[in-house]
Amino acid sequence: MNKNNFTLRVIDCPLCGSSRFTAMLRGMKFDFKNNCWAVHETIQVGVCDHCGLVYENPQVVLEENALYTDQHCYTPKADLISHDKHQQRMNHMLWGLLEQRLNWKGFNRALDIGASGAWSDFILQKHPHIEQVVLEPSWDAVQHGRKCYPKVDIRHGIFETFEDSPGSYGLISLFNAIYVLAKPRKALANIHQLLTDDGRLIINVTNQHLHVEAWLYGRPYLNLAQLMRTIMLVYYSRKTLKIMLKISGFEIIEDFTAEQPEDPLVIYMRRNQWYFVIARKSAHGIPKMDFEDLKDETERLEAENFFKRYCEMISDISIQALFDRHLANHIHLFIPDNPHYIEWLLPRLKAHCPNVIVYSKPLDHTELELADEPGTILLNGFEADVDIETLHRRFDHIKAFNCRIPPETPSNDPFNLCIHNENGEMIITHSFCPIQDIRLFPFPAQELVRG
- DSSP alpha helix (H) spans, 136-194: 139-148, 184-194
Residue list 283-322, contact with Zn ion (CB under 5 A):
none
Closest CB 48 distance from Zn ion, rounded Å: 3
Q: Which amino acid is at 369?
A: E
Q: Which is nearer to Zn ion, 20 or 85 (by Cβ)?
A: 20
User: Is residue 200 a contact partner of residue 171, using CB atoms and an 8 Å limit?
Assistant: yes
Q: Which is nearer to Zn ion, 51 or 331 (by Cβ)?
A: 51
Q: Which is nearer to Zn ion, 186 or 340 (by Cβ)?
A: 186
Closest CB 26 distance from Zn ion, rounded Å: 20
| Torsion, Cα of 203, 209, 210, 215 (10° steps) | 90
CA distance 61 to 30: 16
Q: Which is nearer to Zn ion, 16 or 141 (by Cβ)?
A: 16
Closest CB 347 distance from Zn ion, rounded Å: 36
Q: How many residues bind Zn ion (CB under 5 A)?
A: 8
Q: Of 416, 451, 440, nearest to 220 (Cα)?
A: 440
User: Is residue 232 a contact partner of residue 209, using CB atoms and an 8 Å limit?
Assistant: no
SS3 63: helix
From 7-15, 191-199, 358-366, 388-396, give the range in contact with Zn ion by CB under 5 A. 7-15
Residue list 77-96, contact with Zn ion (CB under 5 A):
none
16 binds Zn ion (CB under 5 A): yes
From 17-25, 84-92, 179-187, 262-270, give the range in contact with Zn ion by CB under 5 A. 17-25
Closest CB 167 distance from Zn ion, rounded Å: 30
Element (H, E) at 269: none
Q: Which is nearer to Zn ion, 16 or 118 (by Cβ)?
A: 16
Cis peptide before 58 (omega within 30 of 0): yes
From 16-24, 83-91, 211-219, 350-358, give the range in contact with Zn ion by CB under 5 A. 16-24
259 forms beta bridges with 273
From 51-59, 84-92, 247-255, 364-372, give the range in contact with Zn ion by CB under 5 A. 51-59
Q: Count Cβ atoms within 10 A of the Cβ of residue 69 and give its class: 0-12 exposed, 13-18 middle, 19 or more buried.
A: buried
53 binds Zn ion (CB under 5 A): yes
Instruction: Mark 21-50 with x for binding to Zn ion (rule: CB under 5 A) and - for no binding.
Output: ---------------------------x-x
Closest CB 174 distance from Zn ion, rounded Å: 20
421 binds Zn ion (CB under 5 A): no
Q: Count Cβ atoms within 10 A of the Cβ of residue 409 and give its class: 0-12 exposed, 13-18 middle, 19 or more buried.
A: exposed
Give one DSSP letter per residue of 354-396, joined into a string: S-EEEESS---TTT------TTEEEEE-SSSPP-HHHHHHH-S
From 5-13, 69-77, 96-104, 212-220, give the range in contact with Zn ion by CB under 5 A. 5-13
Q: Which is nearer to Zn ion, 95 or 291 (by Cβ)?
A: 291
Residue list 342-381, contact with Zn ion (CB under 5 A):
none
CA distance 349 to 318: 11
Q: Which is nearer to Zn ion, 52 or 137 (by Cβ)?
A: 52
15 binds Zn ion (CB under 5 A): yes
CA distance 198 to 167: 10
Q: Residue from 25, 28, 45, 51 that binds Zn ion (CB under 5 A)? A: 51
30 forms beta bridges with 37
Closest CB 242 distance from Zn ion, rounded Å: 14
SS3 447: coil
Closest CB 50 distance from Zn ion, rounded Å: 5
Closest CB 278 distance from Zn ion, rounded Å: 25
Q: Which is nearer to Zn ion, 51 or 311 (by Cβ)?
A: 51
Closest CB 47 distance from Zn ion, rounded Å: 9
13 binds Zn ion (CB under 5 A): yes
Strand 195-205's sheet: what is its strand order? 153-156, 131-136, 109-113, 169-175, 195-205, 273-281, 250-259
Q: Which is nearer to Zn ion, 58 or 362 (by Cβ)?
A: 58
In sequence order, which residues have a C-beta less than 8 Å from that of residue 125 and are 6 or more positions away?
none
Closest CB 291 distance from Zn ion, rounded Å: 9
In sequence order, which residues have a C-beta less than 8 Å from that of residue 429 and are 6 or more positions away?
223, 224, 225, 311, 415, 416, 417, 418, 419
Closest CB 44 distance from Zn ion, rounded Å: 15
Where on the chain is the footprint of Zn ion (CB under 5 A)?
Answer: 13, 15-16, 18, 48, 50-51, 53
